[in-house]
Structure 1
Amino acid sequence: MIENEVFAIGVMSGTSLDGLDLVYVKFDKKKLSDFDILASETVSYSDEWKNKLQNAISFSDKELKKLDFDYGRLLGGIINNFINTFNIDNINFIASHGHTVLHQPEKGITLQVGDGQIIADITKQKIVCDFRTQDVKLGGQGAPLVPVGDELLFSEYDYCLNLGGFANVSFQKGNERIAYDICPVNIVLNKYAEQLGFEYDDKGKIASNGIFLMALESDLRLLSYYKEKPPKSLGLEWVKKEIFPRLESSNQKPEDLLRTFTDHIAWAVANELPKNAKILVTGGGAFNDYLISKIKQKKKTTLIIPSAKIINFKEALIFALLGLLRIDNQVNCLKSVTGARENHSSGVIFMPK
């Protein structure tokens, strides 16, 4: 093995519950941006697991402990299948984001389930996980964490925009990296697509044929979160409190809610982007042609849609990078992004027993 080469698996489960993303990646420690994704896969959740993870927000402490254990076992099995499918025999470590079920940093709470010791024991590999808790203990938001990767892997872009469960943006301002969540995206859109019998709104076709509800969208624009200054982040709790009640009480058709909320996303995102910038767009929303076209309508800027591999697996890739930085005790959480008291190296390392 070449001394500076590191081989890792990154595992990411997003809030939109569209599946578990896995990447096997090679990093060159001398030049991290020269990474190579050697294998990648998205594993869909069963209806039972989707239901569990969606409803975990209301679980008791005892139920959450069991979920943490059971989900760790699920991850361990999926990772082993991934290793076997792609005949992977050279792994320095596995970085697992887990799945966020609670995120209330203002109360000092963030919880990503997926017991690291269980995963280590099942895979017989070194595991790095629980990347957010330390940041919250240091007074930070515990999110977003991807901007470190944006800076180290994708520095040729002015802005990195991710359209996943939530839209978030990352950019360099002077000597600091600034990043924050903008608004919900697929966590809302997928809910209404599912009501129509689809997993998601493919290319935004349903939204494009819906009716725009101006009064509802005007009401959404008044949400106080949009006036807050970063650092700031969003979670499912906020969506359940602020978004779903507004949409549900309108008593409108799902296709019209899809149209209205997609237009709302475009408004919120365009508000945060400068003119004539070079912007990398990733996350499932990058495939939503209607959403992308609406953002372009609202702001004259250059949206660059990369390869499907980068769109789909950028977050899993970056969590592998965060794992590498943690193992080397390098900074992987930026106070300029999360609002923590200091830059730090976050994540817990587990070795197989």
Structure 2
Amino acid sequence: MTFHAIGLMSGTSLDGLDICFARFGKEGASWNFEIIKAETLPYPAEWEKKLRGSIHLSAEQLLELHSEYGFYLGQAVNTFIKKYRIRHIDLIASHGHTVFHQPKRKFTLQIGDGRAVKLETGLPVIYDFRSQDVLMGGNGAPLVPIGDQLLFSRYDACLNLGGFSNISLNINDQRIAFDIAPVNIVLNLLAKALGKSFDENGDLARSGNIDKKLLTQLNALPFYRQPHPKSLGIEWCNEHIFPLLENIEIPDALATFTEHAAVQIADVFNRYRLKDVLFTGGGTYNRYLIEKIRSRTATEIIIPGTQIIEYKEALIFALMGVLKLNSEINVLSSATGSLHDHSSGVTA
């Protein structure tokens, strides 16, 4: 069986919209893939502002943005299809953009109405992959472990360095996954205070000094001692992280928070005695962060080619759409903590 799908991913760090067109093949129980075309569309300033401020909107304004962003996604896909002259597409799988994520209160919201995407493109669309899991008592995250298991099982673990760092690994023949710590959601915001969109190569952090008192406070946050499964959201950062960073010079805050992220990530590697870990996500380009992680662990850090670094999440959401299309399991309860494995997503 062969399927062609487009995966759409908008990360919490608002780097842009990732679009990945891939071929998936299934032989028996084994899946393989090929990324055919992929690109990131940086958000225009207007859209970045809208998405960043979405958490503060009224219910009516948020519903309006939900529809508007859905049409925006559809238009972006149409442009992508035309640019690369893509002819055969079985489906579009859209993650949407996360506004709220509070699984303990039984809700999560990713805006970008899939019905609007379908109206714009005329193609089948599968969206809203997280809500069902949250209603089933899960964290609604991480979802990518199903792709790690089916496409990248040759590595001991897979780590994504995006807005948050999250890991998935096999323990006793069961795939577990959890968020480790915030990364770009914090580093990018600090860099913006210095007029930069992000801390390129970690150079700003490298120029700062580590504040040992702040580092101790960050490492002492209760989340890091909680058992998995567990996940993080912007609300947690607003409550627990940003208040600690208010009265410190930006380069020092960057240096300290980078050290903090490295400490938490390396601790997980060491705890599970991981031989090798596949790194993906924008944070993989942060050389200073990678150096800091390497200095704290003997685990081999595998850095793949650009396509996998940048589009692995969009690729896996495309796979999740294909799995949903075939009524196959695409969410692992061992990763999210929900009642049982299930096939999630709403079909438009």
Q: TM-score, normalised by structure 1?
A: 0.96
Question: What residue is the counterpart of 1:213 in the other structure?
Answer: 211
Counterparts of 1:70 and 1:229, CA distance in 2: 38
Q: Structure 2 residue aligned with 1:5, among 2, 5, 8?
A: 2
Q: Deviations over 1:276-321 (max 9, x none)?
A: 5111000011111110110011111100000011000000000000
Question: What residue is the counterpart of 2:256 in the other structure?
Answer: 260
Counterparts of 2:64 and 2:306, CA distance in 1: 35
Counterparts of 1:312 and 1:65, CA distance in 2: 30
How big is the alpha-carbon RMSD for the aligned residues of Structure 1 and Structure 2?
1.0
| 2:194 maps to 1:196 | yes
Q: Structure 1 residue aligned with 2:185, among 170, 187, 190?
A: 187
Displacement of 1:101 in angstroms is 0.3
Q: Structure 1 residue aligned with 2:222, among 216, 221, 224?
A: 224
Question: What residue is the counterpart of 2:102 in the other structure?
Answer: 104
Q: Does structure 2 retain, via aligned residues, the 8 Å contact 1:207–1:255?
A: yes
Counterparts of 1:56 and 1:224, CA distance in 2: 28
Q: Name whichever of 32-41 and 311-320 sits farther off.
A: 32-41
Q: Deviations over 1:65-94 (max 9, x none)?
A: 101001001101111000011111110000
* Percent of aligned pairs with the same amino acid: 48
| 2:109 maps to 1:116 | no
Counterparts of 2:58 and 2:338, CA distance in 1: 29
SS at the partner of 1:119?
helix
Counterparts of 1:202 and 1:265, CA distance in 2: 16
Question: What residue is the counterpart of 1:270 in the other structure?
Answer: 266
| 2:288 maps to 1:325 | no
Question: What residue is the counterpart of 1:59 in the other structure?
Answer: 57
Displacement of 1:32 in angstroms is 5.3
- Structure-2 change in CA distance of 1:54 and 1:32 (3 Å): farther
Counterparts of 1:245 and 1:252, CA distance in 2: 11
SS at the partner of 2:53?
helix
Counterparts of 1:98 and 1:266, CA distance in 2: 28
Displacement of 1:34 in angstroms is 2.3
> After the TM superposition, which residues 128-147 of structure 1 pair with which residues of structure 2 at under 5 Å, given as runs?
128-147=126-145
Q: Does structure 2 retain, via aligned residues, the 8 Å contact 1:281–1:304?
A: yes
Counterparts of 2:95 and 2:210, CA distance in 1: 37
Q: Structure 1 residue aligned with 2:34, among 33, 36, 44?
A: 36
Counterparts of 2:215 and 2:188, CA distance in 1: 18
Question: What residue is the counterpart of 2:21 in the other structure?
Answer: 24
Displacement of 1:29 in angstroms is 2.0
Q: Does structure 2 retain, via aligned residues, the 8 Å contact 1:33–1:154?
A: no
SS at the partner of 2:311?
helix
Q: Structure 2 residue aligned with 1:299, among 289, 297, 300?
A: 297
Q: Structure 1 residue aligned with 2:12, among 7, 12, 15?
A: 15
Counterparts of 1:219 and 1:91, CA distance in 2: 49
Residue type matched to 1:218 in 2? T
In structure 1, stretches of 5+ residues that fail to align are none
Off by >6 Å, runs of 4+ in structure 1: none
Q: Does structure 2 retain, via aligned residues, the 8 Å contact 1:101–1:113?
A: yes
Q: Report how many residues are paired.
A: 345
Residue type matched to 2:147 in 1? G
Q: Does structure 2 retain, via aligned residues, the 8 Å contact 1:182–1:269?
A: yes
Residue type matched to 1:322 in 2? M
Residue type matched to 2:63 in 1? K
Counterparts of 2:106 and 2:123, CA distance in 1: 30
SS at the partner of 2:312?
helix
Q: Name whichever of 42-51 and 101-110 sits farther off.
A: 42-51
Displacement of 1:33 in angstroms is 4.2
Q: Does structure 2 retain, via aligned residues, the 8 Å contact 1:273–1:299?
A: yes
Q: Structure 1 residue aligned with 2:157, among 159, 170, 182?
A: 159
Q: Name whichever of 326-335 and 52-61 sits farther off.
A: 52-61
Residue type matched to 1:15 in 2? T
In structure 2, stretches of 5+ residues that fail to align are none
Q: Name whichever of 97-106 and 190-199 sits farther off.
A: 190-199
SS at the partner of 1:6?
strand
Q: Does structure 1 retain, via aligned residues, the 8 Å contact 2:7–2:93?
A: yes
